[in-house]
Amino acid sequence: MTPTPTPFDTLLVANRGEIACRVMRTARRLGLKTVAVYSDADATARHVREADEAVRLGPAAARESYLNIEAVIDAAQRTGTGAIHPGYGFLSENGTFVKALEQAGITFVGPPASAIAAMGDKSAAKARMANAGVPLVPGYHGDDQNDALLRAEADKIGYPVMLKASAGGGGKGMRVVESGEGFKAALDGCRRESKAAFGDDRMLIEKYLVQPRHVEVQVFCDRYGQGVYLFERDCSVQRRHQKVIEEAPAPGMTPELRAAMGDAAVRAAKEIGYVGAGTVEFLLDADGSFYFMEMNTRLQVEHPVTEMITGQDLVEWQLRVAMGEPLPCRQDELTITGHSFEARLYAEDPEQDFLPATGLLARFELDTEGAGLAADQVRLDSGVESGDRVSMHYDPMLAKLIVHGVDRDAALATLNRALAALDVQGVVTNRAFLQRLANHPGFKNVELDTRFIERNEATLFAPRRYTTQDYASAALIGLHQLAQECESDSPWDRHDGFRLNAPYTIRITLCDPSAAQGSERDSLVVVEGKRTNLDAQWQLTIGEHTLSASLQPLAGDAVAVTLDGHRRRLQAYRDGNVVVMAEPSGETRLLWQRIDAIDHGHQETEATLTAPMHGTVVALLVEPGATVEKGMPLMVMEAMKMEHTMTAPTHGSVATFHFQAGDTVSQGDVLLDFAPSE
């Protein structure tokens, strides 16, 4: 029996980041006062800045802050909070937390503790679903956990099978077992992982569907026994059981299949006395059969795609149901309009096995106007802004980019334009990986299943093939920024290759950034440019190609590059020595280095000199510890059959040489340590 709701005018959001900001946006629109909570790591975070009030919970560690039930309830009581929205993650599916709120007289914006408990134990949930007539994947969900029995059940089901932690989630405690020979080792590994993550090593076994799609249904129930489904989402594109790109509606759904899945999802919710927003997840086989997987008893990360196609605000529905109101719509009043995608932007490096990244966000903007995107086409739900710091303590998701179109093709085209218009600097993200996914032929052709990324790994991570236009555009962008950095109008103070009575020429190397580490993908090219007038018209020579080129700065970091009369709009910036260029077809990164001997402008504030290219040390011209003046030759390198003299960037002394004559060096290697004079 759910508690009788009481009116509230203040809402505390027991979460952080993107979802906290998103919940507070709707709460403010409904006239509610908003309260944020934060850890020491989030003291200046965006969700704290946007709230009417904010209360510190504790240190950075989640268990001492966002997972601290007593601290959250204390914050609510200190601020006169009548209701708490948990967002997703943290305490959102914690029955103990819900019971504590009931005892404190605070409304929980979510289901009753009994419903959370019913779906928290996967084995018990399967039994309840069978009772409600919800289709189940053939499997074993029993209490007997004897090794021999589990092996016998797996043999009976037929391989491959999926081992799952009964109390698990988020991909932990899961293994695909291809044959009986590997069953025992997989079982032991799953149990260890499940015990460590959930304190529970009970397992269930299911038939592993070879190429299923992950299709989930958004359900909503009120306190009066009414339930509806707000259609489905396809979340098949996953990495390690974590969703990457979601869409609604699911491609290829017939009205009959949609109704069957929707009705099954509502039956599942009613079976456990559900109240509020929930998601029933199904595996959809190629033959149209679908099977219950699990129910998430909270708002999903991907809920915005449902909002886009239905025109409904699901957080508003949550708050109204929590206040005791009936559902805002009947089933026959809900309709689907168009198609929507959501791409999750993470601070992580896909090229380094998706290693999470941290740092200062120097820039975080979405240039919708420049990309020609209408306000109703694109939405950016983020928990960060330019100048924010990305912490190591929490999930690395920065934002969700959500788009809408009249159909799937139109929505996908908009997604590609929006990803290109997303300007993120200072922290490595998965933006380029998302673009490769969205542009992949298999994704465009709806060749979807839960192993899509795994099956297409070779093409998704194929070495980049650069075109002459890529090299020319990157060269021009680097030259433009070099001109911006020039501090003096005097030709004697310039570092751009100026000579009296000589062409204005600069020599540049451009290559894959990984080439700096000696990668076999090194694709070295020399660009020779000659500016023909003061309006920055250039002649660029790249191999056998010569192009006339110009660049026009646009709003933000957008530029228009014109090569032989062909104009392209790019989102472009330099990340250190790497030029980053984004357009709807994808992202290009090229390491930009000058190799003309007099180029030391970038070194003038450095305490080290780095190798501008791969080459060989020919000679050291001074002794370690020697005092030198600005411009004095220090060492000579040979590369591309030319000698290059490295000179002192300013007055000072040479502390240490890191190489000797005859040594081979790679581009970017530190050649010597330099101590500038005070």
Give dist(CA 196, CA 667) in Å, integer.
Answer: 44
Kind and range of the H or E element at 266? helix 255-271
Q: Interior CA angle at 170 toward 166 and 173, to 5°?
A: 45
Helix (H, G, I), strand (E, B) or coil at 308: helix
Helix (H, G, I), strand (E, B) or coil at 58: strand
The one-letter code for the residue type at 413 is: A
Within a 10 A sphere around the Cβ of 204, how many other Cβ atoms? 23
Question: What is the DSSP track for 372-385?
Answer: T--TTTEEEEES--
Residue 408 annotated as catalytic: no
Residue 675 dihedral angles phi and psi, to the nearest 5°: -110, 105
DSSP-assigned letter for residue 602: G
The one-letter code for the residue type at 154 is: A
Give dist(CA 584, CA 614) in Å, integer.
Answer: 33
**Contact between residue 162 and residue 206 where contact means Cβ atoms under 8 Å apart:** yes
Instruction: Give the helix ranges, DSSP H, for 333-456.
Output: 408-421, 431-439, 441-444, 452-455
Q: How far is CA 582 from CA 263, 569, 602, in A?
A: 43, 9, 25
CB neighbour burial string for 231-263, b if at least 16 within 10 angstroms, e if fewer: bbbbbbbbbeeebbbbbbbbeebeeebbeebbb
CA-based nearest residue to 611, from 467, 515, 501: 515
**Catalytic pick from 298, 417, 569, 589?**
298
CA-based nearest residue to 39, from 15, 22, 19: 15
**Contact between residue 22 and residue 315 where contact means Cβ atoms under 8 Å apart:** yes
Residue 444 dihedral angles phi and psi, to the nearest 5°: -60, -35
Token pair of 620 as six digits: 């050291």
Residues 6+ apart with CB under 8 A from 145: 201, 202, 203
Which residue numbers are catalytic?
A: 298
